[in-house]
């Protein structure tokens, strides 16, 4: 089957959109004519992404501050997103804190914050924007989980609480897929391994000779899933690094 990579007319909401993979997703979606909504904790970094989008496309991205570890902040962000436009076509649950280290090295606050942002935050953002998704004629929910959320898959320096948070996201996505399928909402969980963080505005973005998977490949996978014909869904996508030859 073929896919139409243009996202013209589709409204795409991205959490954790201020840096790294979230920034790359936002710029790449805007390049394909999506109307982008940027959610994240830091208005300054979100503003930088919005400036890049405006410079490249001439269109404005909606900047909405949102702390995924704070339910009240999530509620405010969802209301602001839907007040600007009642329809959401794509929600990309990308925001989640990285938490390395042994469990005895971590504070209770660090553990609680990681679980709250990744699990509770993902659930509450999805719930808060679900009315907008149900108004879309072609809705997608994509959660960037990580291979740390796949049983038996090692993920380098990731802590046990980080693994727990990612398994929580995985379970939520799987159950949500069954709940929303009859309503026409596709739900995808993406499991990338550790990858290099490169920027769409940097020279390395178009370097096809990279020896390791980067966030460009993750972005391309997300775009593939949300652009696929509606008769097809990709509930689980697992990415892996191939050894250099």
Using one digit for the tens of pLDDT, what is the confidence trace for 38-51?
999 999 999 999 99
Mean pLDDT score, 222-241:
95
Question: Cα dihedral sign for 155, 159, 165, 168?
Answer: positive
Give the mean pLDDT of 42-63.
Answer: 97
Other beta carbons within 10 angstroms of residue 166's beta carbon come to 26
Query: Is the predicted pLDDT of residue 155 greater than 80, yes or no?
Result: no
For tokens 């998704």, the residue is 133
Distance (Å, whole) CA 43 – CA 61: 13
Q: Is the pLDDT reported for residue 3 higher than 50?
A: no
CA distance 144 to 95: 8
Q: Is 81 helix (H, G, I), strand (E, B) or coil?
A: helix
Contacts of 228 (CB under 8 A, 6+ apart): 1, 3, 234
Residues 117-142: pLDDT tens digits? 999 999 999 999 999 999 999 999 99
Q: Looking at residues 20-48, what average pLDDT do you find?
A: 97
Cβ contacts of 215 within 8 Å, gap of 6 or more: 20, 21, 24, 195, 196, 197, 198
* Mean pLDDT of all residues in 230-237: 95
Q: What is the pLDDT of residue 156?
A: 74
Q: Can you tell me which residue has the tokens 């201020």?
A: 18
């Amino acid at each position: 089957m073929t896919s139409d990579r243009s996202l013209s007319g589709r409204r795409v909401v991205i959490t954790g959109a201020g840096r790294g993979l979230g920034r790359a997703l936002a710029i790449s979606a805007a390049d394909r004519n999506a109307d982008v909504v940027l959610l994240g904790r830091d208005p300054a970094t979100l503003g930088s992404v919005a400036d890049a989008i405006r410079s490249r496309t001439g269109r404005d991205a909606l900047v909405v501050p949102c702390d995924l570890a704070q339910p009240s902040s999530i509620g405010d962000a969802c209301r602001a997103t839907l007040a600007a436009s009642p329809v959401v076509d794509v929600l990309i649950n990308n925001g989640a804190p990285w938490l390395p280290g042994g469990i005895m090295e971590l504070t209770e606050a660090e553990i609680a914050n990681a679980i709250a942002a990744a699990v509770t935050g993902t659930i509450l953002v999805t719930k808060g924007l679900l009315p907008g998704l149900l108004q879309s004629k072609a809705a997608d929910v994509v959660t960037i989980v990580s291979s740390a959320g796949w049983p038996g898959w090692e993920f380098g320096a990731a802590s046990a609480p980080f693994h727990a948070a990612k398994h929580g996201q995985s379970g939520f996505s799987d159950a949500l897929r069954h709940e929303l399928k009859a309503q026409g909402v596709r739900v995808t969980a993406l499991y990338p391994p550790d990858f290099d963080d490169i920027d769409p505005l940097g020279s390395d973005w178009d370097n096809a000779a990279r020896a390791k998977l980067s966030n460009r490949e993750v972005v391309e996978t997300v775009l593939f899933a949300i652009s696929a014909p509606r008769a097809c869904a990709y509930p689980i996508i697992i990415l892996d690094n191939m050894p250099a030859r």
